[in-house]
Amino acid sequence: MSRVKQGFRIELAPTAQQRARLAQHAGLSRVAENFCLALVKAALDQRTAERSYGVPHEHLTPVPWSAPALERAWRAAHPTRYPWFTEAGLSSRVPKEACRVRAAGLKNWADSRKGARRGRRVGFPAWRKRKHGSRLRYDADRARPTGPRTVALPGVGPVATREDMGWLTGRTADGRARITGATVREQAGRWWVSFQLDVDRADVDTRRAVDPAAPTCGIDLGLKTFAVIADDTGAVEEVHTPAVLKAAQRKLRRANKAVARCERASANRTKAVRRLAAVHLKVANQRADFLHQLTTRLARTKRAIAVESLNVAGLVRNRRLARAVSDAGFGEFVRQLEYKTNWYGSKIWAADRWYPSSKTCGQCGAINAGLTLSDRVWTCQCGAVHDRDHNAARNLLAAMHAA
């Protein structure tokens, strides 16, 4: 069986008592993470002081980097420092996972400093605060569905869900899926649980696999037109961006003003913050829905897809484009295409970041070095007239076939 890593997210419908219990566990996770960070910072400061005194390296105070070391320190300290943990009967799995999260963050930071980690440089872990949101993790299958509409959470009990989980429960029952972890998170007063799965998707992927005779396509991404899709059949499709963040600006301004006008730490401010969070959540959900529908359709109907390698991090540094680029979600679009094409048997090909797809004439191959971003239509020296985005999509398709 071909198994893959996949997430399964479902909204919970907790009672008032269960909400309070979830908030307690989220607070416990935050306390445990901050305890681990304080422990590591104290050890690092101690080592710095010892070096100034001339203490040899082998005699310096050890730093508890690993998850087992942090867990041992937590177990030794919580009976006296945090007696409420035991008295409230909270789950021991939550601080255990909090220690693992801190250990992973420290390892990422250390690897990033040494150049052993790919991607952007990772900073030293920061303190967890209430304003960062409520979340907690369970290891393995400690949190698991016990029915199509019920999830068992350690320390909380059976919690109802707002959607049916038959797809998941059917697979866990016959061994096609195994839960490797779960994250519970609160957003805008609503709670979700995300299961991390090791799952066999053979039945779904075979049923929805792409047709071997399906066309190939090149995709040019942009802000005004989200995607121009050029098929090898000659057809060109334009997909316009929903610009959900731009559409919600008026609501966001009013919600932000309401928060600013409320007294700090007041009940009205709490309500205003929740209303603001609800607007942001709706924007995020609308964007995710658009991206998922588009990427699923492409992965199931195109045999091979050529895309650009965009420097999204560089684009958002442009203050004139940052909001529009973030609203579009280019990075998430490509990420979803990568794993969905793997599911359904299609392929994705990414052009080199410096490939001049927009500046290259699709007829003669000449490069228009003077082309600017405002030039939407341009004429080549060979006489060919190009729509900038359509030409780029066709060039990406041609480059993929030539590769």
Same domain, 151 and 222: no
Q: CB-based contacts of 8: which residues, under 8 Å, 6+ apart? A: 165, 167, 168, 194, 195, 197
Q: How far apart are CA 280 and CA 188, in angstroms?
A: 9
pLDDT (0 to 100) of residue 1: 45
Q: CB-based contacts of 346: which residues, under 8 Å, 6+ apart? A: 210, 214, 299, 300, 302, 303, 304, 305
User: What is the DSSP code string of 292-356?
Assistant: HHHHHHHHHH-SEEEE----HHHHTTSTTTHHHHHHHTHHHHHHHHHHHHHHHT-EEEE--TT--
pLDDT (0 to 100) of residue 248: 94
Same domain, 229 and 129: no
Residue 210 lies in a domain: no
Same domain, 43 and 174: yes
Q: Tell me which long-range contacts 255-261 makes (C-beta under 8 A, separation of at least 24).
A: 255/279
Task: Specify whether the CB–CB gap between 395 and 360 falls below 8 A.
Answer: yes
Q: How far apart are CA 44 and CA 63, in angstroms?
A: 7
Same domain, 284 and 352: yes
Residue 297 lies in a domain: yes
Q: Tell me which long-range contacts 389-392 makes (C-beta under 8 A, separation of at least 24).
A: 389/220, 389/222, 389/225, 389/228, 389/238, 389/358, 390/220, 390/228, 390/230, 390/236, 391/357, 391/358, 391/360, 391/361, 391/362, 392/218, 392/220, 392/228, 392/308, 392/357, 392/358
pLDDT (0 to 100) of residue 182: 97
Residue 388 lies in a domain: yes
Domain hosting 316: range is 216-402
Same domain, 383 and 313: yes
Residue 269, both tokens? 């401010």
Q: CB-based contacts of 234: which residues, under 8 Å, 6+ apart? A: none
Q: Total domain count for the chain?
A: 2
3-state secondary structure of 134: coil
Same domain, 246 and 174: no
Tell me the CB-side half-sphere exposure of residue 338, using CA atoms within 13 A. 9
Same domain, 292 and 393: yes
The candidate with the shortest Cα–Cα distance to 394, out of 370, 360, 366, 367, is 360
pLDDT (0 to 100) of residue 403: 77
pLDDT, one tens digit for every residue, the chain (403 residues): 478 999 999 999 999 999 999 999 999 999 999 999 999 999 999 999 999 988 898 888 899 989 999 999 999 999 999 999 999 999 999 999 999 999 999 999 999 998 888 888 899 999 999 888 899 999 999 999 999 999 999 999 999 999 999 999 999 999 999 999 999 999 999 999 999 999 999 989 999 999 999 999 999 999 889 999 999 998 999 999 888 999 999 999 999 999 999 999 899 999 999 999 999 999 999 999 999 999 999 999 999 999 998 888 888 888 888 899 899 999 999 999 999 999 999 999 999 888 888 888 988 888 888 888 788 888 888 888 888 899 999 999 999 998 7
Q: Are strands 190-200 and 236-240 parallel, antiparallel or unpaired?
A: unpaired
Residue 200, both tokens? 């066999």
Domain end marker among 147, 170, 202: 202
Same domain, 299 and 382: yes
Domain end marker among 147, 172, 202: 202
Residue 185, both tokens? 């998170």
Same domain, 187 and 233: no
State the burial class of residue 153 (Cβ atoms within 10 Å of its Cβ: 0-12, 13-18, 19+). buried
Task: Specify whether the CB–CB gap between 147 and 166 falls below 8 A.
Answer: no
Residue 209 lies in a domain: no
Q: How far apart are CA 397 and CA 400, in angstroms?
A: 5
Q: Are strands 177-187 and 135-139 parallel, antiparallel or unpaired?
A: antiparallel
Residue 309, both tokens? 């390698």
Q: In what order do the strands lie in the sheet with 304-307?
A: 236-240, 225-231, 216-221, 304-307, 347-350
Q: Are strands 150-153 and 157-160 parallel, antiparallel or unpaired?
A: antiparallel
Residue 304, both tokens? 């091979």
3-state secondary structure of 60: coil
Domain end marker among 149, 175, 202: 202
Same domain, 250 and 187: no
Q: How many CB atoms lie within 10 A of CB 170?
A: 12
How far is residue 202 CA from its own chain's centroid?
25
Helix H or strand E segment including 19: helix 16-52
Same domain, 251 and 380: yes
Q: CB-based contacts of 111: which residues, under 8 Å, 6+ apart? A: 117, 122
Q: How far apart are CA 270 and CA 352, in angstroms?
A: 48
